[in-house]
Amino acid sequence: MSGMSDVKCSSCTLGSCAIYTLSSNELEDMELNTCQAGYSKGEIITKQGTPLNSVIYLRSGFVKEFMWHESVADQVIQLIKPRSYIGLKGLYTNSSSVFSYQAITNVEVCFIEKEVFGRIVRGNGNFGQEILIALSKESISNHKRFLNLNQKQIFGKVAGLIIYLSEEVYESSLFELHLKRAELAHMIASTRESVTRALKWFHNEGIIQMKKNTVSIEQMERLSEIAKRG
Amino acid sequence: MSGMSDVKCSSCTLGSCAIYTLSSNELEDMELNTCQAGYSKGEIITKQGTPLNSVIYLRSGFVKEFMWHESVADQVIQLIKPRSYIGLKGLYTNSSSVFSYQAITNVEVCFIEKEVFGRIVRGNGNFGQEILIALSKESISNHKRFLNLNQKQIFGKVAGLIIYLSEEVYESSLFELHLKRAELAHMIASTRESVTRALKWFHNEGIIQMKKNTVSIEQMERLSEIAKRG
DNA sequence: AACAGAATGTGATATATATCACACCTTATT
DNA sequence: AATAAGGTGTGATATATATCACATTCTGTT
């Protein structure tokens, strides 16, 4: 967790849509109860079970939301893209984090105290609306992954995963894979080896191109066909 | 879709937590833009792709959220319990429904125009907060099912499904299965036959008891052990 | 540059479960 | 009561993929 020069919320260029709805008073309220931090690739931001009295705003970088599951290997729930809130869904539950969050690139975040956050939601319906929108979008995005898991064949699941990463996370047909094979596998209830084989096959067929860890989708049509039919 | 005598929002005994935050003006606004309906078991409430300019409030009964997926059989996303909002996550997206909703018992619902709903959210932060809470809870509940799918063995998945139904939907260790075997299977990416076998085995082991379509969880410990370890 | 450790690729095999085929049961309809 | 139709139970078989074991490549550190 590396230090960094603090940016005021009011002058932040990486803020959420939501903060544009805030009055200067509200903004100041938030500023006073927010603290900024940087993490480098690989660092854990919060661990499940740990107290967490903040909503975390991801200014830049990508974060992995996951759980360490008893016997089973870690389960990756989703990847979070920059300019989104982390752990919003925990805002109104208990004070300890349900999930763990890890920086998968270098990352800048802000910790906003839950209490202030809630106060502002209650006081400013427009802010609430924006948060509601954010949460809805996350929810729908997760549903897509969910549906993908109902696909039985791994090739279909891997194809769906690539599409998810491209559309919901990296928002580009060209992106770097920040997760290793085993983690990708854990996102679709499969194994490292099976993911390797699927990616290799897609590559050989010219459906995607992979050099190093950079994926480029070449034939989206075929890819989504595979994601649908298996 | 059977008719029924209309209840005013202000005198509704089956309202959400959220509506208790409303002023009488807001309540009236809602009343004027809400219409009530009843469906009987099996009826489709909304079909995916169909225009939907309302948030639907489920006063009583249970509803299945699902998609008809191209080649593949229907995919059940979740079951919705009474006194919750249906399609909240679609409030701020497009005007056509992403999912289909079917009554799996007799059901009473209210259609509240999205526009009014949004207006009230913006005007009343406390209402917004309650909606946010509802959405968060739904989100977390779905995450649990999600994690369960990452379980590879069917016995584990079926066990997890039973726990989900008991804890998140029916809120009792004794409940009636409103879904048929094939639909249960579609919730966990498995098959009718495998679900049959798993349930049979649980029954024989005395972990659950099943008569007709009523399930009673007898040994929660073992069930959750199976859900965890497979 | 050399090394160690991690991550990834690859083939052979085992195995869980999907699939198939059919029997049985339940429910509704005539 | 008889019939039909939808749902469920059950065994035999096929098959996709997990598992295993090892080779290869990549990564960062001394």
pLDDT digits (tens, 9 = 90+) for A79-134: 999 999 998 988 888 778 888 999 999 999 999 999 999 999 999 999 999 999 99
pLDDT band at A3 (very low <50, low <70, confident <90, very high): very low
Between CA B57 and C1' C5 the distance (Å) reads 56
Least reliable range by pLDDT among A69-73, B51-55, B161-165: A69-73
Taking one residue from A and the other from B, the number of pairs with CB-CB distance under 8 angstroms is 145
Q: Which residues of A touch B135 (CB under 8 A)?
A: 89, 132, 135-136, 139
Q: Which of B132, B147, B190, B194 to mutate to test the interface with A (most CBs of A within 10 A)?
A: B132
Handedness of CA A86, A72, B184, A195 (dihedral sign): positive
Specify which of A9-13, B73-77, B136-140 reaches the highest per-range mean pLDDT. B136-140
Alpha helices per DSSP H over chain B: 24-32, 114-123, 125-149, 154-164, 181-187, 192-204, 220-229
CATH topology of domain A151-229: Arc Repressor Mutant, subunit A (1.10.10)
If DSSP codes are grouped into helix, strand and coil, which group holds residue A175?
A: strand
Give the whole-number percent of chain B exceeding pLDDT 90: 70
**Cross-chain residue pair B229–A186, CB shorter than 8 Å:** no
Token pair 């982390």: residue: A86
pLDDT of res. A143: 86
> How far, in Å, CA of A133 to CA of A127, rounded?
10
**CB-CB contact of A55 with A95 (8 Å):** no
Domain with CATH 1.10.10.10 in chain B: 151-229
- How large is the C-alpha radius of gyration of chain B? 19
Looking at chain B, which residue has its C-alpha nearest residue A153?
B189
Provide the token pair at A187.
């996102």
Residue whose CA lies closest to nucleotide D26 C1': A212
> How far, in Å, CA of B121 to CA of A124, rounded?
9
pLDDT of res. A1: 45
Q: Which residues face A76 on adjacent strands?
A: A66
Side-chain half-sphere of A204: how many Cα atoms within 13 Å?
6
What are the φ and ψ backbone dihedral angles of B5, each rounded to 5 degrees? Answer: -70, 135
Strands B54-60 and B107-113: antiparallel
**CB-CB contact of B64 with B76 (8 Å):** yes
Architecture of domain B9-138: Sandwich (2.60)
Q: What average pLDDT does this structure show over B95-107?
A: 90
pLDDT of res. A70: 58
CA distance A115 to chain B (A): 12
**Cross-chain residue pair B189–A147, CB shorter than 8 Å:** no
Distance of CA A212 to the CA centre of its chain: 22
Residue whose CA lies closest to nucleotide D15 C1': A153
Provide the token pair at A3.
């230090």
Q: Which residues of B touch A143 (CB under 8 A)?
A: 77, 89, 98, 142
Domain with CATH 2.60.120.10 in chain A: 9-138
> How far, in Å, CA of A15 to CA of B57, rounded?
33
DSSP A19-83: GGG--HHHHHHHHHTEEEEEE-TT-EEE-TTSB--EEEEEEES-EEEEE--SSSPPEEEEEE-SS
pLDDT of res. A39: 93
**Cross-chain residue pair B72–A150, CB shorter than 8 Å:** yes
CA distance B98 to chain A (A): 9
B61: number of Cβ within 10 Å: 20
In 3-state terms chain B splits into helix, strand, coil percentages (rounded to 5) of 45, 25, 35
Specify which of A146-150, A162-166, B144-148 reaches the highest per-range mean pLDDT. A162-166
